[in-house]
Amino acid sequence: MIKHKEIASKSVFVLAALAVVLMNAVAVPRNSFAADSPAHPNVVLIMADDLGYGDLSCYGSDKIKTPVLDKLASEGVRLTSFYAGCTICTPSRMALLTGAYPARAGWRGGVVGYGIKPQNGLAPGAITIAEVFKGAGYQTALIGKWHLGDTPELSPMKQGFDSTFYINKSNNQTKQLWRGDKLVADPFDNRRLTEQFTTEAIHFIEDNRKRSFFLYLPLSAPHFPAQAHPDWKGKSQNEAYGDVVEELDSRVGEILKTLSKHKLAERTIVVFLSDNGVEPGQKKWAGSDPYRGLKWSALEGGNRVPCIVRWPDKIPAAHVSDAMIAAIDLFPTLANACGIKLPEPPKGGPKLDGVNVLITLAGKTDQPHPRSNLLYWHGWGTLQAIRVGQWKLYLDQIKELPESEKGPVLIHLANDPAERTNLGDKHPDRVASMMAEAAKQLADIEANAIPLGGPPDAKTRIPERAKWLKQL
């Protein structure tokens, strides 16, 4: 762990690094995929909240109709092995914005307001995707749910966002809606949040249509309580949850129409994803078939989520990829696509765990897919599993996997998506090598982490070590 005083020096590094980014932003390397693209494509990064893998019709839902997102998938790539940054809200957002496993940013379990005090959150010293894009001359906006700290020092305005319109925690934790540092509603109307966020996003796009922009739109829907907008109430076949998801789909359509109206669609990368799997209290309506597990869990259903990426003429239409890709990969991938050179991380500070997967999104097969493994964390901060190729090894005792009481559990995901058959006894060498790789990566993460932002908490919990990693 680095000293607290080093955070200040890291902030100085951020300013210097952004200056380097600005100087290099227009000089796209000849061997990069972005060399033949416009110098500065726009980015619209949309994230749903607690949307399950199976909650879109293009991912198999027969109860919820999502024609807009289905069409978006038909115009780009639909990812079927995409993983959120974590299995709960706060660390998932940390991972998305920093391109690093959240433990590198000081996360030790829980979310802001539940396990993390509101005065703590993403450290100002962490370099965010918004800061890097802003340093490259982009107009940046955060519209939606923040959930990375409540204090002015931890606000989105301190993390690279020029424009903000947001709730600072989940819609069941707060009733306040903010624009910048001004409170604009208390209480807000939960039924109309998606509408309000969409309207604000459209205004941002229109105001910046002649400039390059980076729009981060983390919607609060369909996080509980799912309360239908009056115009959508009773419209779906899946009660209020379905109504909320179908409204979300329609609102994405409004944003896409705005891009088309202003002739921005061809030069805008649109990404749609979810922050984690299904909330346990919503499992009656939401789904992750064929995967098991819910939000908080390291099972596939807690982490594997929908993700669709559209970039006309650069990503082939109607492409489906089963390549292992994670939310931490979006930072380096989008920066590369936009011709932005990433700064080097500071010595002793957090580094990128994400990799540039643009060649895979673009359907290129002349080079190997960049991601070979992935770590999975429980919502209370324990590293519980690692995936290597199609193999997933559980390093901890998991209640849904009875055999994990006796030792590590090895799953072949392609043949066993529901994770029911332990193949560990048949592949002891694979178990050993995967255990060693997980231990190696965890040691590196713990040695190169910064504290959470905000005042030190003497009662900060230390996550349990995975049961079978303790023996290494």
Average pLDDT, the chain: 91
- pLDDT level of residue 346 (50, 70, 90 thresholds): low
Q: For residues 93-120, give the mean pLDDT.
A: 97
How far apart (Å, rounded) are the C-alpha atoms in residues 110 and 47?
A: 20
In the predicted structure, residue 457 carries a pLDDT above the cut 90? no
Q: What's the average model confidence in pLDDT over 231-243?
A: 98
Predicted pLDDT at 8: 42
Is 60 exceeded by the pLDDT of residue 20?
A: no
Instruction: Tell whether the model's pLDDT for residue 466 goes beyond 60.
Output: yes
Distances (CA, A) of 329 to 11, 38, 162, 355, 400: 23, 21, 23, 5, 29
Q: CB under 8 Å to 399, separation ≥6 — which residues?
A: none
Q: Which of 86, 32, 6 is nearest to 342 (CA)?
A: 32
Residue 470 — pLDDT band, cuts 50, 70, 90? confident
Q: Is the pLDDT of residue 37 over 60?
A: no
pLDDT at 12 (0 to 100): 37
373-447 is classed in which CATH architecture?
A: 2-Layer Sandwich (3.30)
pLDDT 10s digits, 145-161: 999 999 999 999 999 99
**Per residue in 282-291, pLDDT tens?**
999 999 999 9
SS3 assignment for 92-151: HHHHHHHCCCHHHHCCCCCEECEEECCCCECCCCCCCHHHHHHHCCCEEEEEEECCCCCC
Chain segment 113-142, per-residue pLDDT in tens: 999 999 999 999 899 999 999 999 999 999
Q: What is residue 18's predicted lDDT score, i.e. its pLDDT?
A: 39
| DSSP conformation letters of 232-247 | TTT-SSSHHHHHHHHH
Give the pLDDT band (50/70/90) at residue 459: confident
Q: What is the pLDDT of residue 22?
A: 34
The answer to whether residue 313 scores a pLDDT higher than 90 is yes
Distance CA 46, CA 58 (A): 17
pLDDT of residue 458: 79
Pick left, alpha or beta for residue 106 (phi over 0 → left; psi -120 to 50 → alpha; otherwise beta).
Answer: left
Provide the residue type at 402 as one letter. Answer: P
Lowest-confidence pick of 33-42, 234-243, 253-262, 451-460: 33-42
Lowest mean pLDDT among 7-21, 310-324, 441-455: 7-21
Domain boundaries, the chain: 25-361, 373-447
Percent of the chain beyond pLDDT 70?
90
Q: Top-level CATH class of 25-361?
A: alpha beta
CA angle at 107 for the pair 131 and 172, rounded to the nearest 5°: 85
Residue 340 confidence (pLDDT) above 80: yes
Instruction: Find the mean pLDDT for residues 358-366.
Output: 95
Window from 32-46, 75-89, 240-254 with minimum mean pLDDT = 32-46
Provide the phi-psi class of 457: left if phi over 0, else alpha when psi is between -120 and 50, else beta: beta
User: pLDDT by residue (tens digit) across 46-90?
Assistant: 999 999 999 999 999 999 999 999 999 999 999 999 999 999 999
CA 81 vs CA 175, 238, 286, 453: distances in Å: 35, 26, 19, 32
Token pair of 159 as six digits: 């993390």
Higher pLDDT, 136 or 2: 136
Which backbone phi and psi does 199 adopt, to 5 degrees?
-60, -45
What's the pLDDT tens digit per position in 316-332?
Answer: 999 999 999 999 999 99
pTM summary value: 0.91
